[in-house]
Amino acid sequence: MLKQRLQQKLLQKLSPQQIQVIKLLEIPTMLLEQRIKKELEENPTLEEGDELDDNYEQEELNTQEEDNKNDDEFTLEDYLNDEDVPSYRLNANNTSKDDKHEEVPFSIGVSFHEHLESQLGLRVLSEKKYDLAKYIIGNIDEDGYLRRKLSAIADDIAFSMGVSTNEDELEQLLYIIHDFDPPGVGARDLQECLLLQISAKDQDIPEIALARKILKYHFDEFTRKHYDKIASKLDLEDDDLKYAIDEILKLNPKPGGSFQDPLNQSIQHIIPDFILDQVDGDFQLNLNARNVPDLRISKEYSEMIETFAHNRSNASKQDKEAIVFVKQKIDSARWFIDAIRQRQNTLMETMRAIIEYQREFFEEGDETKLRPMILKDIAEKTGLDISTISRVANSKYIQTHFGIYSLKYFFSEGMQNDSGEEVSTKEIKKILQECIDNEEKRRPLTDEKLMKILQQKGYPIARRTVAKYREQLGVAVARLRKEL
């Protein structure tokens, strides 16, 4: 049985203005420039310029204050005259569902697959074999591997192209692709990839011939770095084995990644959000607003509303609709300007707190001077919410006199050393990296030995913690770090 009833609920909802501030707070400087340009294009009442030059906003505020003192206060309801203006009258829609939205493809340079297909065009093949080989190339991934079985590809070709083929025919075409540049392309596993590359070299050179023999007959021992077993089975001296292993290590396990067209290279530039200078021992922090323009409300549109306020009795219905649109845009522009200001204030307040907390690091740039710091520490220092600090630290960078750093770099957990002093995990990782860099490559340090070294240096740390930090540094286990 259905019943109707009233129920009161207390809910927390973000206003559109708060959502706008949150979104602006998350984006870095480069995206902020694009966001401002977009807003300038969409909102005609917003324009570039210093609003203090002509006192635009101050004049507007004074006008509003004078109007508020009058009995005939100008409000949105006055010029609407209680008319119900449909929403469609306030929005412009110049598109139709039947309109075609065609994007012009823009391409520059040559892709990896196009590079392979261009080499295929140099081979004398029948139309059928050319199409089959092209289909095989389409199944090669960006690393240069053919990770699908030829039998599955043959089935796909039969269904999609209606061409009958078999695994042997595809195998012959794959051998042709194996001759393409870069060497190793079209391999079905790592062993085949390395064999294709080493086979393309001069086999009269002893170390290359030996390297091919190792890859073909002792690949499992090679991957596990059981060099003693390889030397024993092949009756090799250490130097001979070392030269052969060096040749293998020169090969590329991902041949597809070696293809780079200069016209396709994309370089990501880091634009710092903060610039920190040190003058006479004091820090000077500034926001990087080099390409971020000052914004103001257009005086022309402000005067339009002011004029209408004095002549609203003679205004037509079209004038009222136009003023509704203008007022909405002015309110949107004012909210956007306020959101930009709030973003700048929040960023500066947070960054000053980080600099004060990590003052020793910013003075010298020594990583060991970093103090343990989490989001909660800065939130308590600034009085802001932890989520706000997280948004500020996201994708933001600071330029110092000793380099550019991500704000996330300054946040790390901590632990106590033997003397009871709180130290950052970054300090421990740096010592761990130094130990690994200086270890004897023939006998790499195990996690157990690294743990004992750190404990001797005054860091009470468990072996599993050493393993975790080692993995975070991207360092392999001792067995895989072994070298001849």
Average pLDDT score over the chain: 81
DSSP structure class, residue 373: B
Report percent pLDDT > 90 for the chain.
26
Axis crossing angle, helix 227-234 with helix 238-249, rounded to the nearest 10 = 120
For residue 316, pLDDT over 90 is answered with: no
Q: What's this model's pTM, rounded to 2 decimal places?
A: 0.58
For residue 104, pLDDT over 90 is answered with: no
Is residue 294 within 8 A of residue 336, CB to CB? The reply is no
pLDDT of residue 4: 82
C-alpha R_g of the chain:
34
For residue 387, pLDDT over 80 is answered with: yes
Section 247-276 average pLDDT: 77
- Give the DSSP H/E element, type plus range, for residue 48: strand 46-48
Lowest mean pLDDT among 129-143, 171-185, 296-310, 390-404: 296-310
- Of 310, 293, 307, 298, whose CA–CA distance to 334 is shortest? 298
Calculate the alpha carbon distances from 209 to 240, 241, 251, 350 in Å: 11, 12, 14, 61
Q: How would DSSP label each residue in 54-94? A: TTHHHHHHHHHHHHHHSSS---HHHHHTT----GGGGS---
- Of 236 and 426, more confident: 236
**Dist. CA 298–CA 57, nearest whole Å:** 9
**Dist. CA 251–CA 244, nearest whole Å:** 12
pLDDT of residue 12: 67
What dihedral angle (degrees, nearest 10) is formed by the CA atoms of 293, 296, 299, 300?
A: 60
SS3 (DSSP) at 300: helix
Superfamily of the domain at 415-481: Homeodomain-like (1.10.10.60)
Domain parsing of the chain, residue ranges: 116-258, 274-292+331-410, 415-481
- Of 289, 320, 281, whose CA–CA distance to 83 is shortest? 320
**Dist. CA 158–CA 281, nearest whole Å:** 75
SS3 (DSSP) at 397: strand
Antiparallel, parallel or unpaired: β 414-416 and 397-400: unpaired
> Which residues partner with 416 through β-bridges?
422
pLDDT of residue 291: 67
For residue 430, pLDDT over 60 is answered with: yes
In which band, very low, low, confident or very high, does the pLDDT at 60 lie, cut at 50, 70 and 90? Answer: very low
Beta strands in 280-337 (DSSP E): 282-287, 295-297
- Of 86 and 144, more confident: 144
Is residue 397 within 8 A of residue 407, CB to CB? The reply is yes
Q: Which two tokens stand for residue 337?
A: 């300007």
Cα 92 to the center of its chain, rounded Å: 35
Section 126-137 average pLDDT: 93
- Asked whether the bond before 272 is cis by omega within 30 degrees of 0, the reply is no
Axis crossing angle, helix 447-456 with helix 425-437, rounded to the nearest 10 = 120
For residue 325, pLDDT over 50 is answered with: yes
**Dist. CA 193–CA 209, nearest whole Å:** 16
Q: Which two tokens stand for residue 359?
A: 């003052």
- Of 292, 290, 275, whose CA–CA distance to 396 is shortest? 275
pLDDT of residue 228: 87
For residue 174, pLDDT over 90 is answered with: yes
In which band, very low, low, confident or very high, does the pLDDT at 136 lie, cut at 50, 70 and 90? Answer: very high
Q: What is the pLDDT of residues 410-429, one digit of tens each?
A: 888 777 777 767 777 878 88
DSSP structure class, residue 33: H
For residue 356, pLDDT over 50 is answered with: yes
**Dist. CA 324–CA 417, nearest whole Å:** 66
Measure the CA angle with vertex 181, ends 175 and 183; round to 5°: 70
Which three-class secondary structure string do you get for 109-121?
A: CCCHHHHHHHHHC
- Asked whether the bond before 253 is cis by omega within 30 degrees of 0, the reply is no
Residues 6+ apart with CB under 8 A from 216: 195
CA atoms within 13 Å, Cβ hemisphere of 227: 21
In which band, very low, low, confident or very high, does the pLDDT at 82 lie, cut at 50, 70 and 90? Answer: very low
Residues 6+ apart with CB under 8 A from 362: 276, 278, 283, 355, 400
**Dist. CA 57–CA 1, nearest whole Å:** 59
For residue 466, pLDDT over 80 is answered with: yes
- Give the DSSP H/E element, type plus range, for residue 277: strand 274-279
